[in-house]
Chain A
Amino acid sequence: MTEFINRNKRQLTWALYLIAAVAILLFLGDQLAGKKAARIVQTLISGVLVGGVYGLVALGIVVINKASGVFNFAHGWMMVVGGMIFWSFFTVSEISLLGAGLLSSATMLMIMSTVSWRNLREGRNPLITLGGIIVLTALMTVGGIEWQWLHALTGTFAGAILMGLAVERFAIRPLIGQPLFTAVLMTLAVAEVLHGVTQIAWGTVELNLPVFVDPQTNSRFRPIRLDAFRDVLDGVAIVRVELVIAFLLALVAFVGFILFFRYTSVGLAMRATSEDQQLAQSVGLRVRVILAITWAVAAFLASIAGVLQGGAVGLSLNISFVALRVFPAVLLGGLESISGALIGGIIIGLVEQFGTLLNSSEQVGTNLAPYLVLMLVLVIRPDGLFGEKRIERI
């Protein structure tokens, strides 16, 4: 008996997993059988839609982890800050010239001094800096409220890059040479600071971010009702337009960043750095600069996700919890896998929506199911679906 178990360990393990999966499916099937088909279809659709934004959040975490091995616990708060900056530029009719000027100056100085402050004294760099400041400020303040999209996009872009570079410069870069654990703790500390700053600047009240509005009526979109399938589904499935738009934009951003990583020289350098930092340095890549760019890209991704999530469900400090729910998605997809981030995000979105469908009163979908998935992933397949297998070397 023991010999049999030892010889067929792998097959037996998979058999056990299979039995567990069948049991869970039977249980869920029984639970779902009581629901209308329309509700199930609606849950499926909204799960995928919500999961798209989760995938975008997961991508930001994966990018940083690939490049530097740091798992960014501050990502949720970066989302909040990005979304709040967008809100500030989007809803305020008169942008203060001083504020816009300060933001663009800080951003340009941060960008130009990423390599060294000495850079600012050499060659055309001071001119580039000045020009950048003027262009950014102009883009942020030009025109009135009808230019709000331009203001908000420029402002969020500048703010996100400033945030990413500042976090890298003042929190992560001083830790070079320390164990990775220290850097992970540092992201926790950064999360606390961003939490406090957001709360001071924007308060704890939920803000209305009217991004996804019907241009004709200037109010929220009417949800799509799938009337055509009424007979098949025994009811009407309702899909929220905000979620559809957020999903599509998240997909566009996702594809854009995959193309960025694959076809631009900066993206190539980032991939090289993530493979092996020393090797990248030895072929002449400036690893320090590339890490800074990685943080800026991640902060930008976080801001986009924050705007999409804020526009779809409302902007408040609670958005930071989305990033906590995304951690299971990141691990599920694999810490190093970009496509895994999207698939993991969609799976977690589905898990969350079905959890809410089965038990809407007890926060099963948001507070329990994703973490159960996390435990399962850690026990069964710690490297995730598409992650690299880690090999220990002594």
Chain B
Amino acid sequence: MANIHPAGVFDTTYEEDMSVDRTARDKLWKNLAFLALLLLPLVSVSGPLGLGWVSDQYIGLIARISIFVIAVQGLNILVGYTGQISLGHAAFMAIGAYGSAILARELGFSFWTALPASALLTGLVGLLFGLPSLRVKGFYLAMATLAAQFIIPWVLRYPLEDLTGGTRPLSVPAPMIGPFAPYAEDPINADQPLVFQAGDPYLVDVISVDFTGLTGAYPVIELINPAGDAIPYGDVYMSVSEDSDGNVTGLSYIASKAGEYQVAVRAQNGGEFTAVIRRSKALSFAADIAMYYIIVPLAVLLMFLARNIIRTRTGRAFISVRDNDLAAELLGINVFGYKLRAFFLSAVYAGIAGCLLAYERNSLSLNAFELDVSIEMLAMLIIGGAGFPLGAMFGVVFIRALQEALIPFLRPWLSDWLPQLFPFIDAVNITSAINPIVFGGALIVFLVLEPRGIAHRWEVFKVAWKLRPYSY
């Protein structure tokens, strides 16, 4: 699609031709849209302004959409820009998700270090599964990524069961900024409960217990609510700190939604210690709309990066590999090197998306990363428009809109008349079966009618709008 500018705007330099925002008006619209996205949670029901214009449910929805926009944008770099089909994207997301969760749980990484670390880890695994692209391409490469889609979850499920919990869900702590300087410090010996009050959802208590002179088993630390019950594991999160010799020197608890509670430290198996309980405050993103401010700006940033890649040497090399890899090789492009780079970048995006997904849901299970999800992401990309920077966004928004708006509308209606028409149909089965039908149907319609996707329609629409009232 040729670049059509408003009357009077001409590209006279290469920079102008390649610019992201050609006119001030483009830039204004883009910035206004970003600002509106940022201000949206403030006017939501639980927002600080108390306006209640937007339901909280939509804030969460936008956050989840943004996570998938990141993942699908990664797929876009691989499939849309470089032309290498991947059927294993969900498995890469699983590595990002489980990688960050394990780093946080076992090694005490905070969210801010776990995110880049898990993204890098995912990128390296992506490189590993990109290696077959040296010998095979096209459909055969899709098969290699299909193998990744089965091998990676298997590795996470069985050999790493101690770390990942296998088939059981794994809880993930909420990201925090802090803890801020401690202001309560109570040395105790044993069995002395301390009472704390509930914090608000944004500022949470971080309880850390530091031991000196610890011998034997380290003590049991429990958070107990006023009724005397232990607070459920999902509401608190524990991390263990060790010194350089591997001895446990402290445990820290993050009581995100705990309410009023007591901390009880009990010795067990003849362990002896002197403990100091410290309490500090930290800024938490555990509240539902708080993750929004991590996810959405990151999604916008990553979208912008993906947009910029095609303006660089790397991006042009990607596109030439996609259009004709033999010709690209004759031009002196290191085809295998660029394919590997595309695999790496794509997996990094998937890793970031997976990490965000883990922290957004607070709980992980392998069911969220099955083959269906990979296919769904590929379909989102095709529907949105592969190879277009905005394609990922259009595709994810379209599919989610179908799932959130069309399916709840169809479901009661279908459950009503389908069993009447065909008596052998059980209405119970309809609920879960609509999703694949609607989704596969949408993909069929787009493949037949508009294989270049919504993004291409959007370009056509923009041109028509700029040329109005004359069509050419």
In the complex, what residues of B have CB within 8 A of residue A374's CB?
143-144, 146-147
Q: Which of B132, B154, B382 contacts A378 (CB 8 A)?
A: B132
Is A86 an interface position by the 8 A CB rule?
Answer: no
Tell me if A200 and B433 are in contact (CB < 8 A): yes
* Number of interface residues, chain A, beta carbon within 8 A: 45
The answer to whether B140 and A378 have CB atoms under 8 Å apart is yes
One of A172-180, A257-265, A308-316 at the interface = A172-180
Q: Are A362 and B436 in contact (CB under 8 A)?
A: no
Query: Which of B146, B378, B436 is in CB contact (< 8 Å) with A196?
Result: B436
Given A188-B379, A199-B436, A367-B150, is A375 in contact with B144 using a C-beta cutoff of 8 Å?
yes
**Contact, CB under 8 Å: B443 / A192:** yes
**B195 adjacent to chain A (CB < 8 Å):** no
Q: Which of B131, B379, B424, B436 has the most CB of A within 10 A?
A: B436
Task: A201 to B427: give the CA distance in the assembly, Å.
Answer: 10
A392 to B433 CA separation, bound complex (whole angstroms) = 43
Given the interface pairs A175-B447, A371-B150, the reply to whether A192 lies near B85 with Cβ below 8 Å is no
* Beta-carbon contact of A193 and B143 below 8 Å: no
Give the chain B neighbours of A188 by CB distance below 8 A.
375, 378-379, 443
State whether B443 touches A185 (Cβ < 8 A): yes
Summarize B's interface: helix, strand, loop or mixed: helix
Point out the residues of chain B lying under 8 angstroms from A97, CB to CB.
none
Considering only residues 312-347 of chain B, those with a C-beta below 8 Å from chain A are: 326-327
Q: Is B138's beta carbon under 8 Å from chain A?
A: yes
Q: Are B135 and A379 in contact (CB under 8 A)?
A: yes
Residue in B144, B424, B448 whose beta carbon sits within 8 Å of that of A175 in the complex:
B448
Mark out the residues of chain A between 341 and 384 whose CB falls within 8 Å of any chain B CB in the assembled complex.
362-363, 367-368, 371-372, 374-375, 378-379, 382
Which residues on the A side are within 8 Å of B434 (C-beta)? 196
Scan B370-392; emit 1 where CB is below 8 A from any A CB, else 0.
Answer: 01000100110010000000000
Is there an interface contact between A378 and B158, defined as CB atoms closer than 8 Å? Answer: no
> Measured between alpha carbons, how far is A64 from B302 in the docked complex, in Å?
40
**Which residues of the other chain, B, contact A331 by a CB distance below 8 angstroms?**
140, 143
Whether the Cβ atoms of B447 and A185 lie closer than 8 Å is: yes
Known pairs A188-B379, A331-B140; list 13 more (Cβ under 8 Å): A188-B375, A189-B444, A189-B447, A190-B444, A192-B437, A196-B440, A201-B424, A202-B429, A203-B429, A324-B371, A374-B144, A378-B136, A394-B326
| Closest 8 pairs between A and B when the two form their complex, measured CB to CB | A192-B440, A196-B437, A199-B433, A189-B443, A193-B440, A196-B436, A371-B147, A362-B158
- Chain A residues in contact with chain B, CB under 8 A? 71, 88, 170-171, 174-175, 178, 180-182, 184-186, 188-193, 195-197, 199-204, 324, 327-328, 331, 362-363, 367-368, 371-372, 374-375, 378-379, 382, 392, 394
Could you list some 18 contacts between A and B, CB below 8 A? A181-B138, A182-B451, A185-B379, A186-B444, A188-B443, A189-B444, A196-B435, A197-B433, A200-B418, A201-B424, A201-B425, A203-B426, A204-B429, A327-B146, A374-B143, A378-B136, A382-B135, A394-B327
